[in-house]
Amino acid sequence: MGFRWDLVWSSLPALLQGAKLTVQLTSIAVCFGIILGTIAGIARLSKSPLRLAAASYIDIIRGTPLLVQTFLIFYGLPSLISRPIPAYTAAILALSINSGAYVGEIVRSGIQSIDKGQWEAASSLGLSGSQTMGLIILPQAFRRILPPLGNEFIALLKDSSLVSIIALEELVRKGQIIIGRTFRPFEVWLAVAIIYFVMTFAVSRLVNVVEKRVVAH
């Protein structure tokens, strides 16, 4: 029957609507992931009892598939709290928790890359450990972890396709719905792939621009 460009164009509005939700989910999840990851990364380097908890969180989440984590939250958690969890909320929770574990390792490595002399200099100035971390170490570490944080955003943007399994109508789910109506998988999946490429390419270029400006300052 040949390739149908008209189907690609007619599918774009629905696919772009799904892409908008994909970007929204990823952006929110990365924001929460950075918060969780920063706490976990700092805790893993501390000498407090939180160190074991942070290490366990990072190891468990990184050692299990995001798909299983999504199932646990969407299907498993409601049986414990006796109430259903909306698909959108479950997706945000799963993506945020997953991202937090990877960001935690990024933050940890970033902090450890800072010369120990920085700690000693801050201590000689009378700064406390928390002041040293917040005012001296983290700002320097942030410059170094910016590229891997950008990579994490791109990875999560692609991994967010897994939440289609809980019927959340992001980009992949929209594609599945259109295929079920048109029975033309090649055109639809090609359009989906192109949209993902455009999004990830745009994010990578944006990260490069931000990185250059941060380094310059």
* DSSP conformation letters of 19-82: HHHHHHHHHHHHHHHHHHHHHHHHHHHSSSTHHHHHHHHHHHHHTS-HHHHHHIIIIIHHHHHT
In terms of pLDDT, which residue wins out, 13 or 212? Answer: 13
Percentage above 90 pLDDT, the chain = 71
Q: Is the pLDDT of residue 117 over 90?
A: no
Give the pLDDT band (50/70/90) at residue 4.
confident
CA dihedral 177, 92, 101, 195 (to 10 degrees): 40
Domains of the chain: 5-216 (1.10.3720.10)
| Separation CA 192–CA 172 (nearest Å) | 7
CA distance 195 to 188: 11
Asked if 9 and 78 touch (Cβ cutoff 8 Å), the reply is no
- pLDDT classification of 11: cutoffs 50, 70, 90: very high
Given a contact cutoff of 8 angstroms between Cβ atoms, the answer to whether 103 and 43 are in contact is no
| Mean pLDDT across 189-216 | 90
What mean pLDDT value characterizes the chain? 92
Instruction: Specify the pLDDT at position 207.
Output: 86
